């Protein structure tokens, strides 16, 4: 095995990530003890299931690499050994590499009952053959050998492009070697890039710019109409033009494409509009929907290409034109997209490159030149290419051509974009309280405020009106409330039956939304006599009708419950002229006694990472408290390795508070939908060694009470801060990537920070020691850490200075004493414990044994990876399967391939099998443990999260298969919570084999500590303890 392959194998099978705060939390699953374990035996080559022909003694398969491992494929026609892809004819010995040669591996199986003697020539024309073993050999019956065939056409052997075929005799049977040679010329490759510059689609045959979602709007015109009574309802009839809407009695009515009012009826009360589809109008000038794609062009050929022009051309037959464009000045050249952007118009004023331009043959080392173009999709209408028009909830497709004229050729690449009219429910539902009017979204959760252990009744009024986008009227027919602690008060009598001090009232609000009075004993709408009729535009927020009151009721003496959940269902039907169709609107209501809220300290006690390597998927975790005891007993860790990382989060479950940033600016306002704010983490490598052993050396502080004035850190404004309190940023220890690297005996390398020497990761001396070893021989190695910085995705620290607007992202060791410019992470917190934090970026930085300019792989820069992710307490599912939350924002994740799932042991799905390498795979204290069990409680078989999943072992009933992973909701009683997130390392070669292209599942375990809480329960001032305590180990 080559050294690099051996390193890759060992590094991926070993524990890559172990947090420096090596405490444990028994709330988190521990390792489970196993009773030994037996290794399997190598399997024989299975008999071929598809011979080339009846009775064939020699059977050949092509071997290909997949994410699930090596796979055998039958060869075409049973006798063609084809080598792909096509390659260029080399003209001299300097033309080498992947452009000029291609290789394929084949498995030759002796399908007979006697030994097979073969003699394979080392070369057949342009084909070069190298077996794994001797060229002349004997294959026993039922056995096989593997050969590698390299197709390398060169002048003198192959003089012109085309198909090249040679015959090859194997064991007396004739096979054909086949390859395709290309004449020397330029060749354009078109790639579609992600926002971070990584490739989304390579060598694409078409470009999908994306989807634009537009809010439905319907055309309305003024008409002067008569009136007629139909089935007891007044309708408009004989409508004509309205000359002056101000002076005349005119009605504003929705019209169809012909301009006929949809509500107009004739003298027989029949609709006059034959086409009942409302005319859609969209104001796209506001930029509600714009999508962009960066297109990368490179020359995969052997000759320079003259790019004469690049344009977008409408398709003549298209009914919708002008929907795509190339951003002015965006055509630029460079080795990377970041370099190319420096020449774009609006970046540094250069205005891009001017065509024509010569694109040289691409070579990543000597000529890494590419051409970049930014394409916009900005629909100006709701009509598709074929003339179809999108209505509510429907989509239409726009098409055009992306045309590249080069040399004497023209390349046409289809462009597509999708316009979708969002499906907006016709009903709008509101609750009015003293803090304002809150709109309830269909399927939402409404938190009931003010519930304490003494509460008996609390009521809120519920209102309804039609959405402005509703083209026709609806009738509310029924409202129901479920949940043992909730009741529906839909009459004046029911409301008055409640004690006056807890009775439902309607607040009177001024223009600013402040309460200036109340309406007592309100009268709800009567649904019993035909329902409540709603017409478009009839009601405003001030005049909308009261449906009734939702009343929470309980007897404190009889109920010990803390969390109460109910559901409200509203049913409506369209008016008879509107087709009579029904619509439902529902939402949940939650009441929690004394819920967690306000300024909270998160005590992060455990981190886990699932690295989904194709060959060696692994689960890496901080040991539990019991496991740490064993490691200390074995001398592989010390008490100083038990640490807790502290974070700041502000909870506003009722969306009623103004939350401020550290600099005094506003992070969240009442009613903005943000109910949790996570203050950012700024972790940088500083040239500092602290006297306090609880602080991490060479690491910035995220709070420092010893500062004389100003902002002291993430806990600014918090109560009960200890005098002189300081705490470090987040860095994660990696034993395998510390010196002496992953190849040595596990007992001879550091398993915890206390066993290795600390270094300044930004000095030449420090980097040299990461590659050469500690100066103090009492240490087993030199520590490597990942420095973690987290903030909102819009933070300047995560964006290049070349972007618009410009960011301030820089290498980790550049100007390292200057704080990163970070914004807080805004999320949603529900009283049922669900928490979601979208639009979050994490910087993952630091030198390691390999990622080091002085390391064994040569000049590899320190890790500098940027993840975009969502931390959630829910199952990780695709966006279309969640209620508006994007839990997989990383575009590098292949959703169609299922990379958001964890494959336990299914060999058919093309994902790495976790169980293969994580059952009985760890020995601690002389006993075997299974590392997959760290995440066992988080694995579910079903999307509802009700069926547990796991790796089959003798002490469980799990069947394996494919599982979903999710966190665990905040427990209002204990504060315990588990967050999960999914991201993927980029294709950057600087990541090396250890991380390149790997999906990674991140898990954070901890608990919310109330700094106003009881010190006996380790809250209050104990929230800031940096030592492990009994609440951390619960």
User: Which range in 65-69, 256-260, 316-320, 727-731 is most confidently predicted, on average pLDDT?
Assistant: 727-731
Does residue 569 carry a pLDDT above 50? yes
Phi, then psi, of 991 in degrees rounded to 5:
-75, -15
Query: Both tokens of residue 652?
Result: 């506003």
Strands of 22-67, DSSP E: 33-34, 58-66
Does residue 13 carry a pLDDT above 50? no
pLDDT score at 949: 95
Query: Degrees (nearest 5) of the Cα angle 579, 585, 589?
Result: 170
What residue ranges define each of the domains in the chain, with the CATH number in brackets?
3-21+597-1024 (no CATH), 90-182 (2.60.40.10), 284-421 (2.60.40), 452-592 (no CATH)
pLDDT score at 49: 32
| Cα end-to-end span (Å), the chain | 46
DSSP state of 90: B
pLDDT score at 26: 35
Query: Both tokens of residue 621?
Result: 């975790």
User: Which range in 113-122, 864-873, 909-918 is most confidently predicted, on average pLDDT?
Assistant: 864-873
- Contact between 652 and 675 under an 8 Å Cβ cutoff? The reply is yes
The closest of 875, 821, 507, 515 to 684, measured between CA atoms, is: 821
Tell me how far CA of residue 833 lies from CA of 75, 586, 643, in angstroms. Answer: 56, 20, 26
β-sheet with 939-940: strand ranges across = 902-903, 962-965, 939-940
d(CA 67, CA 764): 38
Whole-structure pTM over 0.75, yes or no? no
pLDDT score at 197: 74
- Give pLDDT tens digits for 223-271: 999 988 876 667 889 999 988 877 788 887 888 888 888 888 899 888 8
The closest of 144, 149, 96 to 125, measured between CA atoms, is: 149
d(CA 27, CA 584): 40
Average pLDDT estimate for 522-541? 85
Map tokens 């990761």 to a residue.
761
d(CA 422, CA 417): 16
Residue 939 burial (C-beta neighbours within 10 Å; 0-12, 13-18, 19+): buried
d(CA 51, CA 112): 11
Does residue 409 carry a pLDDT above 80? yes
3-state SS, residue 721: coil
pLDDT score at 46: 33
d(CA 648, CA 727): 12
Query: Both tokens of residue 251?
Result: 């009605």
pLDDT score at 576: 60
Task: Please spell the DSSP secondary structure of 462-491, one letter per residue.
Answer: EEEEE-TT--S-EEEEEEEEESTTEEEE-S
d(CA 994, CA 10): 10
- Contact between 364 and 377 under an 8 Å Cβ cutoff? The reply is no
What is the C-alpha radius of gyration for the chain, rounded to an integer number of angstroms? 34
Average pLDDT estimate for 401-425? 86
Average pLDDT estimate for 773-781? 90
Task: Please spell the DSSP secondary structure of 261-322, one letter per residue.
Answer: BTT-B-TTS-BS-S--PBPB---GGG-SS-EEEEEEEEE-SSS-EEEEEEEEEE-TT-SS-S
3-state SS, residue 746: helix
Residue 989 burial (C-beta neighbours within 10 Å; 0-12, 13-18, 19+): exposed
Average pLDDT, the chain: 84
Map tokens 């044994």 to a residue.
849
Does residue 578 carry a pLDDT above 70? no
The closest of 566, 528, 529, 532 to 547, measured between CA atoms, is: 532
Query: Degrees (nearest 5) of the Cα angle 348, 353, 359?
Result: 135
DSSP state of 875: B
* Residue 117 CB coordination number (10 Å): 12
Kindly state the percentage of the chain with pLDDT values over 90.
41
Strands of 652-743, DSSP E: 659-660, 666-668, 676-678, 701-704, 726-728, 730-733
Tell me how far CA of residue 567 lies from CA of 459, 487, 489, 545, 651, in angstroms. Answer: 15, 10, 14, 21, 24
Query: Degrees (nearest 5) of the Cα angle 458, 462, 464?
Result: 175
- Give pLDDT tens digits for 1011-1025: 999 999 999 999 999
**Looking at per-residue confidence, does 574 or 899 come out higher?**
899
Pair type for strands 173-182 and 87-88 = parallel
Does residue 317 carry a pLDDT above 50? yes
pLDDT score at 581: 67
Query: Degrees (nearest 5) of the Cα angle 111, 114, 120?
Result: 70
**Looking at per-residue confidence, does 874 or 316 come out higher?**
874
Lowest mean pLDDT among 259-263, 364-368, 727-731, 863-867: 364-368
- Give pLDDT tens digits for 135-150: 788 889 888 899 999 9
Does residue 274 carry a pLDDT above 90? no
Average pLDDT estimate for 335-358? 65
pLDDT score at 6: 34
Can you say how many angstroms the Cα of residue 962 is from the centroid of all Cα atoms in its chain? 19
User: 767 pLDDT band (50/70/90 cuts)?
Assistant: confident
User: 215 pLDDT band (50/70/90 cuts)?
Assistant: low
């Amino acid at each position: 095995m080559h050294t690099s392959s051996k390193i890759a194998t060992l590094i991926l099978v070993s524990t890559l990530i172990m947090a420096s705060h090596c405490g444990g939390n028994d709330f988190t699953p521990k390792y489970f003890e196993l009773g030994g374990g037996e290794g399997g035996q190598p399997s024989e080559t299975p008999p071929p299931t598809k011979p080339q022909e009846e009775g064939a003694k020699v059977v050949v398969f092509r071997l290909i690499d997949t994410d699930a491992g090596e796979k055998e494929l039958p060869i075409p026609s049973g006798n063609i050994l084809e080598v792909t892809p096509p390659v260029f004819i080399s003209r001299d010995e300097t033309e080498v590499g992947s452009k000029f040669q291609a290789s394929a591996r084949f498995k030759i199986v002796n399908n007979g009952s006697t030994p097979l003697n073969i003699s394979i020539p080392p070369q057949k024309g342009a084909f070069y053959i190298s077996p794994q073993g001797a060229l002349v050999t004997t294959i026993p019956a039922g056995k096989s050998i593997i050969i590698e065939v390299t197709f390398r056409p060169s002048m003198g052997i192959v003089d012109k492009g085309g198909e090249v075929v040679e015959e090859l005799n194997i064991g007396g049977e004739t096979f054909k070697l086949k390859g395709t040679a290309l004449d020397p010329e330029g060749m354009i490759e078109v790639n579609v890039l992600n926002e971070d510059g990584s490739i989304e689609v390579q060598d694409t045959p078409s470009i999908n710019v994306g989807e634009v979602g537009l809010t439905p709007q319907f055309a309305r015109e003024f008409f002067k109409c008569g009136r007629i009574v139909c089935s007891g309802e007044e309708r408009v009839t004989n409508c004509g033009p309205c000359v002056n809407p101000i002076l005349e009695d005119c009605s504003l009515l929705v019209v169809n494409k012909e301009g006929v009012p949809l509500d107009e009826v004739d003298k027989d009360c029949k609709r006059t509009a034959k086409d009942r589809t409302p005319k859609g109008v969209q104001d796209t000038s506001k930029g509600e929907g714009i999508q962009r794609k960066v297109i990368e062009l490179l020359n995969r050929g052997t000759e320079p290409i003259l790019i004469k022009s690049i344009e977008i051309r409408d398709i003549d037959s298209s009914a919708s034109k002008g929907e795509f464009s190339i951003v002015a000045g965006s055509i630029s050249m460079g080795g990377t997209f970041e370099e190319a952007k420096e020449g774009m118009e609006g970046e540094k004023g250069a205005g891009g490159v001017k065509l024509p331009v010569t694109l040289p043959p691409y070579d990543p080392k000597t000529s890494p030149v590419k051409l970049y173009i930014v394409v916009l999709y900005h629909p100006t209408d709701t009509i598709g290419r074929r003339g179809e028009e999108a209505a509510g909830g429907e989509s239409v497709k726009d098409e055009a051509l992306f045309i590249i004229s080069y040399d004497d050729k023209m390349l046409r690449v289809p462009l597509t974009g999708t316009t979708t009219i969002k499906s907006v429910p016709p009903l709008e539902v509101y609750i009015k309280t003293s803090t304002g009017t809150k709109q309830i979204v269909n399927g939402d959760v409404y938190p009931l405020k003010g519930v304490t252990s003494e509460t008996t009744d609390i009521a809120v009024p519920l209102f309804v009106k039609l959405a402005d986008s509703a083209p026709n009227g609806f009738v509310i027919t029924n409202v129901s409330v479920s949940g043992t602690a909730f009741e529906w008060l839909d009459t004046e009598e029911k409301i008055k039956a409640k004690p006056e001090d807890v009775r439902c009232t309607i607040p009177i609000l001024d223009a600013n939304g402040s309460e200036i009075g109340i309406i007592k004993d309100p009268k709800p709408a009567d649904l019993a006599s035909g329902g409540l009729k709603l017409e478009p535009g009839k009601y405003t927020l001030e005049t909308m009708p009261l449906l009734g009151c939702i009343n929470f009721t309980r007897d404190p003496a009889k109920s010990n419950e803390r969390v109460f959940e109910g559901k409200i269902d509203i049913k409506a039907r369209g008016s008879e002229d509107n087709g009579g169709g029904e619509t439902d609107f529902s939402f949940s209501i939650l009441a929690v006694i004394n819920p967690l809220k306000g300024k909270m300290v998160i005590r992060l006690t455990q981190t886990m990472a699932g690295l989904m390597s194709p060959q060696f998927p692994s689960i890496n975790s901080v040991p539990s408290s019991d496991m740490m005891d064993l490691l200390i007993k074995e001398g592989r860790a010390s008490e100083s390795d038990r640490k807790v990382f502290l974070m700041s989060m502000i909870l506003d479950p009722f969306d009623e508070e103004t939350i401020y940033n550290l600099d005094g600016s506003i992070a969240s306002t009442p009613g903005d939908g943000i109910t949790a704010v996570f203050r950012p983490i700024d972790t940088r490598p500083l040239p500092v060694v602290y006297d306090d052993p609880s602080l991490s050396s060479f690491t910035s502080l995220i709070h420092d009470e010893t500062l004389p004035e100003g902002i002291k850190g993430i806990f600014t404004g918090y109560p009960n801060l200890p005098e002189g309190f300081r705490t470090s940023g987040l860095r994660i220890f990696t034993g395998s990537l510390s010196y002496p690297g992953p190849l040595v005996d596990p007992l001879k390398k550091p398993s915890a920070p206390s066993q290795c020497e600390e270094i300044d990761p930004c000095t030449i001396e420090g980097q040299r020691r990461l590659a050469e070893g500690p100066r103090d021989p009492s240490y087993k190695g030199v520590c490597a850490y990942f420095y973690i910085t987290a903030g909102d995705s819009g933070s300047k620290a995560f964006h290049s200075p070349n972007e618009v607007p410009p960011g301030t992202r820089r290498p980790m060791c550049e100007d390292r004493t200057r704080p990163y410019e970070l914004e807080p992470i805004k999320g949603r917190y529900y009283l049922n414990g669900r928490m979601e934090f979208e639009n979050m970026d994490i910087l993952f930085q630091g030198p390691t044994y390999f990622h080091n300019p002085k390391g064994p792989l040569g000049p590899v820069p320190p890790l500098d990876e940027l993840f975009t992710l969502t931390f959630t307490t829910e199952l990780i599912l695709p966006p279309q399967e969640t209620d508006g939350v994007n839990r997989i924002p990383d575009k590098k994740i292949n959703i169609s391939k299922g990379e958001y799932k964890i494959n336990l042991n299914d060999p058919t799905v093309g994902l790495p099998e976790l169980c293969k390498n994580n059952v009985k795979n760890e020995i601690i204290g002389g006993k075997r443990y299974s590392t997959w069990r760290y995440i066992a409680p988080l694995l579910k078989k079903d999307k509802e999260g009700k069926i547990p999943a796991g790796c089959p072992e003798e002490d469980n009933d799990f069947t394996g298969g494919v599982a979903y992973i999710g966190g665990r909701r905040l427990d209002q009683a204990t504060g315990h919570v588990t967050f999960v997130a999914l991201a993927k390392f980029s294709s950057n070669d600087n990541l090396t084999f250890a991380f390149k292209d790997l999906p990674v599942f991140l898990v954070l375990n901890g608990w919310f500590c109330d700094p106003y809480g009881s010190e006996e329960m380790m809250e209050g001032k104990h929230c800031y303890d940096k030592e492990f305590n009994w609440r951390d180990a619960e």
